[in-house]
Amino acid sequence: MFEGEEKGKLDIQALEQARREGKRIGLVQGSWDQFHFGHQRYIKKAKEECDYLIVGVDSDEKIRARKGPNRPLIPEDERYDMIKELGIGKVGVYEPGKSIADDIVIKQVNDPKWDLIRKVKPDTLVVIPENYTMDELKVLLDEGLVKSVTVLGRQAETSTSNKLRQKLIANMSDKIPNFRALLRKSIDETRSRLGASLQYGEPYGELLSHLEESTDWLVPTAAAAKIKNKWYFGTNQCDYTLPERVLNERKELFYSTVEHAEINLLKRVLGKGEIDTVYVTLFPCDKCMKTLIDSGVKKIYYLEDHADKNWSKRSHALAQKKNIEIINVLEGIRIDNQGVQLESISVEQKDSSQPVGENVDYYGYKYIYPPNARYQEQLDIMVTREENDQDPLDEDIIDQPIVYIGDHWYISENRFPHTGNGKQILIIARDPVYSEKDLTDEMWIDLKKTWLIANEKYSISGGGFCLRFGDPALSGASLKRLHIHIIQPSINLGQVEKQRFSIGGRTELKEGLVLTKTAPKIVG
C-alpha cells in the first residue's frame, strides 16, 4: 500500500480483512502541510482511537485550489512519506520500524464530497472542531457513513500558519517604528468606531473580533460570508517581503502591498460552495469588487467607506454597474441593484424590540441574565432559547461542538470568548444545576477528571480555572447553569499576554444592546 502503482490509493482488500478480524477502523484527514508537532500528536491520538488507521492526505492540486497558488509548502510525496515514517505508540512513545498508519490515501481535487468517508465507512472519524459543523456531523452519523466521531482539540499552541505570520510580524516590527503599538491602536480604534454594528446581529460581533487577525497597521479590515450555515472570515494581511522604503512610504491600501480581506475570505471558502452575499467592515476597493463580481456575489453589506470617500467611489460605481445591491449598515442606506437609494433597512432588522427601563426584572429569566451579554448575537441566542423554554447550555441545545461528555460534565468551547486569551474552554454541568449548593460529591470528583481531560485535549499547560456562582450581577455570568471557564492566555512571539477574566457584572444591558423577540419581565 505504501509503494508502487497503488501508492496513495485506498487498499480495499486490507480494509476488508481488518473488518473481518474485528478491528476498529479509524479515519483522519488533513492537508498536513508545514508538518509540525501538533500534526504528529494528532495522528498518534487518532491511532489510539482505533486498531486500523487510514490517513487521508490532500493532494498538491487540492490544496492549491483551496489555499492559493503558493501552497502547499511541502509537496504531497514528502507529506505522504512523513506520515509513513511516524512510529506507532502512545503520545511520547516511539516504536521504530513501524508506521503509525495502516493505509495512507491521497485525496484528489475532483473527488466528490466525503468520498473517502463513504468508501471507508469508519467506526470512528477523528476530527478537530473546525473541520465540520454539527449539522454535517449529524448527517454523517444519520446516514451511517460513520459509526462515531472523535473530536480532538488542536495539539499545538498555535497553527504553523499563525507561527509564520507572527514571524513575519516580528520582521515587520524592525521596518516600521512602533509597528506593534500602531497595529494595536488601529485595531482598537476600528472596533470602537464600528461597535454600534453589534446591535444588528450576526455576523458583526464575530466580524469585529476577527480584526485581531489583521496585520495592516493603517486600516485593519475583515470580511465574512455564510455557506451552508457556517460562517467564514478573512482579514487583510500585509506583504512583509516589501523593502523597508516601500513600506514606510505606503500611504494607501494598494492592492500590491496588502492581501485584502475579501481576497483572503474568497481563498478560505474556495470549494465550500457559492457565495451570494458578503459582509465587510470597509467597502471593497475596485479590484476586490471585480473579484467579488467574478465570484458571483450579488449583495454587499458594509459598515463604512474609507476615510477618503473618493477612494471607493470607483468601486461603488462598478457595483451599481454590475447590479450589485449594496447596504451601508451603520448609516441605514440601501441601494438596490439599479443604483436607486431605498428606505433605510438594517441587516436582520429586529422585530418587537422593547424599550429597556429601570423597572426591568432581569432576574425574572429562568436560564439567562441579559445584562452580562457582551454581543448582540450572543444576547439574541440567549433570549430565543429562553423564549422556547430551552436552557442554552443544555447539551442537546448548545450550538458549538461538544468534544467530551462525562458522567456529570461535558466539554465545549466558548462561542463568545473574551478577547486577549489564547484558549477558552467550557466545562458545563450536564444536569440542570444552577446553584453551587446543588453540587454533589460525585460531581466534584467528576469535575476534576473532566478538567484534566480538557487540559489534555487542548494541550493546556497553564492558565486559569473559574467557576462563577450566585448572583449573576456579582459573578458576571450571562447563563445560569453552572459552568467553568478554563482559560490559557495567548502567546505572542514567545511573550505571554496577560489576561484578566472578569468577575462582576451589570445590572442593566450593555450600551448598544437591544432586547428583542421576548419582552423584558416587568416588575409589578
What confidence category does residue 67 fall into, taking pLDDT thresholds of 50, 70 and 90? low
What confidence category does residue 254 fall into, taking pLDDT thresholds of 50, 70 and 90? very low
Distance of CA 274 to the CA centre of its chain: 20
pTM, to two decimals: 0.41
What confidence category does residue 449 fall into, taking pLDDT thresholds of 50, 70 and 90? very high
**Cα torsion through 478, 503, 510, 326, rounded to 10:** -80
Average pLDDT over residues 21-31: 94
Pairwise pLDDT comparison (496 vs 436), residue with the higher score: 436
For 324-363, write each residue's pLDDT tens digit: 998 888 776 655 555 555 444 444 433 333 334 445 678 7
How many residues are listed for the chain in this entry?
524
Considering only 55-69, 226-240, 254-268, which range has the smallest mean pLDDT?
254-268
Q: What is the pLDDT of residue 497?
A: 66
Average pLDDT over residues 138-146: 90
Q: How many Å apart are CA 149 and CA 224, to the nearest integer? A: 28
Using DSSP bridges, classify how beta strands 222-227 and 495-496 pair: parallel, antiparallel or unpaired. unpaired
For 469-500, write each residue's pLDDT tens digit: 888 888 889 999 999 999 888 765 556 667 77
Q: How many Å apart are CA 275 and CA 232, to the nearest integer? A: 11
Using DSSP bridges, classify how beta strands 421-429 and 409-413 pair: parallel, antiparallel or unpaired. antiparallel
Distance of CA 43 to the CA centre of its chain: 22
Helix runs in 409-515, H state only: 441-457, 472-475
Q: What is the pLDDT of residue 252?
A: 38
What confidence category does residue 81 fall into, taking pLDDT thresholds of 50, 70 and 90? confident
SS3 146: coil
One-letter amino acid for residue 321 of the chain:
K
Q: Say whether pLDDT at 49 is over 70.
A: yes
Q: How many Å apart are CA 490 and CA 213, to the nearest integer? A: 13
Q: What is the pLDDT of residue 88?
A: 63
Average pLDDT over residues 190-198: 78
Q: What is the pLDDT of residue 297?
A: 92
Q: What is the pLDDT of residue 294?
A: 85
Using DSSP bridges, classify how beta strands 258-259 and 237-238 pair: parallel, antiparallel or unpaired. antiparallel
Q: What is the pLDDT of residue 358?
A: 45
Considering only 34-38, 134-138, 322-326, 480-484, which range has the smallest mean pLDDT?
34-38
What confidence category does residue 131 fall into, taking pLDDT thresholds of 50, 70 and 90? confident
With a pLDDT cut of 70, the percent of the chain lying above it is 75
Phi-psi region of 21 (alpha: psi -120 to 50; beta: other; left: phi over 0): alpha
Q: What is the pLDDT of residue 334?
A: 59
Average pLDDT over residues 391-399: 87
Q: What is the pLDDT of residue 520?
A: 43
Q: Give me the chain's average pLDDT, please.
A: 78
Pairwise pLDDT comparison (156 vs 205), residue with the higher score: 205
